[in-house]
Amino acid sequence: MSDINRRQALSVVGGAVLLASCGSAPKEAPVDPDAHDVHSYGQPDKVRVQSVALDLEVLFETRKLKGNAILVIDAAKGDDPLILDTRDLDIDSIEISAEGDDYGPAKYTLGTRDPILGAPLTITLEPGTKFVRVYYSSRPTASGLQWLMPEQTAGKKQPFLFSQNQSIHARSWIPIQDSPGARITYKARIRVPKGLRSVMSAEHQFANEEYADFEMKNPIPPYLIALAVGDLKFQAVGPRTGVYAEPSVLPKAAKEFEDMEKMIAAVEGLYGPYRWGRYDLLILPPSFPFGGMENPMLTFATPTVIAGDKSLVGLVSHELAHSWSGNLVTNATWRDFWLNEGFTTYIENRIQEVVYGPEQAVMEQALGWRSLQDEIKGLPASDTILHIDLKGRDPEEGTTDIPYGKGSLFVRLLEQTFGRPTIDDYLKRYFDHFAFQSITTATMLAYLKKELLDKNPQLAAKIDLQKWVYEPGLPESAPHAVSARLEDVAKDAKTFAAGSLPAREIQTAKWSTQEWLEFLEGMPPLDAKKLAELDQAFHFTKTGNSEVLDQWLEMAIKAEYAPAYPRLESFLKEVGRQKFIRPLYTALMKTPAGQVRAKAIYKVARPGYHPIAQTSVDKIVGKP
> Which positions lie near ligand BES, rule CB under 6 A?
166-167, 290-294, 315, 318-319, 322, 341, 396, 399, 579
Minimum CB distance to ligand BES, residue 353 (Å): 15
Instruction: Return the closest-CA partner of residue 372 out of 259, 481, 244.
Output: 481
Alpha carbon 304 to chain centroid distance? 16
Bridge partners (DSSP) of residue 58 are: 65
Q: CB under 5 to 8 A by kind: which of Zn ion, ligand BES, none does 293 bind?
A: ligand BES
Closer by beta carbon to ligand BES, 130 or else 579: 579
The span from the CA of 249 to the CA of 230, in Å, is 13
Minimum CB distance to ligand BES, residue 227 (Å): 16
Closer by beta carbon to ligand BES, 119 or else 613: 613
The span from the CA of 342 to the CA of 401, in Å, is 9
Minimum CB distance to ligand BES, residue 407 (Å): 11
The span from the CA of 75 to the CA of 130, in Å, is 5
Measured CA distances, 497 to 13, 15, 540 (Å): 50, 54, 16
Minimum CB distance to ligand BES, residue 529 (Å): 33
Bridge partners (DSSP) of residue 135 are: 68, 93
Q: CB under 5 to 8 A by kind: which of Zn ion, ligand BES, none does 558 bind?
A: none
Closer by beta carbon to Zn ion, 345 or else 616: 345
Alpha carbon 206 to chain centroid distance? 29
- SS3 for 214-259 is EEEEEEECHHHCCEEEECCEEEECCCCEEEEECCCCHHHHHHHCCC
Q: CB under 5 to 8 A by kind: which of Zn ion, ligand BES, none does 292 bind?
A: ligand BES
The span from the CA of 142 to the CA of 460, in Å, is 47
Q: CB under 5 to 8 A by kind: which of Zn ion, ligand BES, none does 614 bind?
A: none
- Residue of minimal Cβ distance to ligand BES: 291
Closer by beta carbon to Zn ion, 97 or else 331: 331
Residues 6+ apart with CB under 8 A from 265: none
Which one from 246, 256, 294, 319 is the annotated catalytic residue? 319
Minimum CB distance to Zn ion, residue 318 (Å): 6
Q: How many CB atoms lie within 10 A of CB 112?
A: 6
The span from the CA of 604 to the CA of 571, in Å, is 12
Q: CB under 5 to 8 A by kind: which of Zn ion, ligand BES, none does 166 bind?
A: ligand BES
Residues that bind Zn ion (CB under 5 A): 341, 344
The span from the CA of 575 to the CA of 563, in Å, is 20
Alpha carbon 512 to chain centroid distance? 26
The span from the CA of 318 to the CA of 608, in Å, is 27
- Asked whether the bond before 167 is cis by omega within 30 degrees of 0, the reply is yes
Helix (H, G, I), strand (E, B) or coil at 212: strand
Which one from 404, 430, 470, 609 is the annotated catalytic residue? 404
Closer by beta carbon to Zn ion, 318 or else 530: 318
Q: CB under 5 to 8 A by kind: which of Zn ion, ligand BES, none does 579 bind?
A: ligand BES
Quick check: 233 and 224 in contact, CB under 8 A? no
Told to judge if 404 belongs to the known catalytic residues of this protein, a careful annotator would answer: yes
Q: CB under 5 to 8 A by kind: which of Zn ion, ligand BES, none does 547 bind?
A: none
Closer by beta carbon to ligand BES, 73 or else 427: 427
Closer by beta carbon to ligand BES, 328 or else 463: 328
Minimum CB distance to ligand BES, residue 399 (Å): 4
Minimum CB distance to ligand BES, residue 210 (Å): 32
Q: Which residues are catalytic?
A: 319, 404
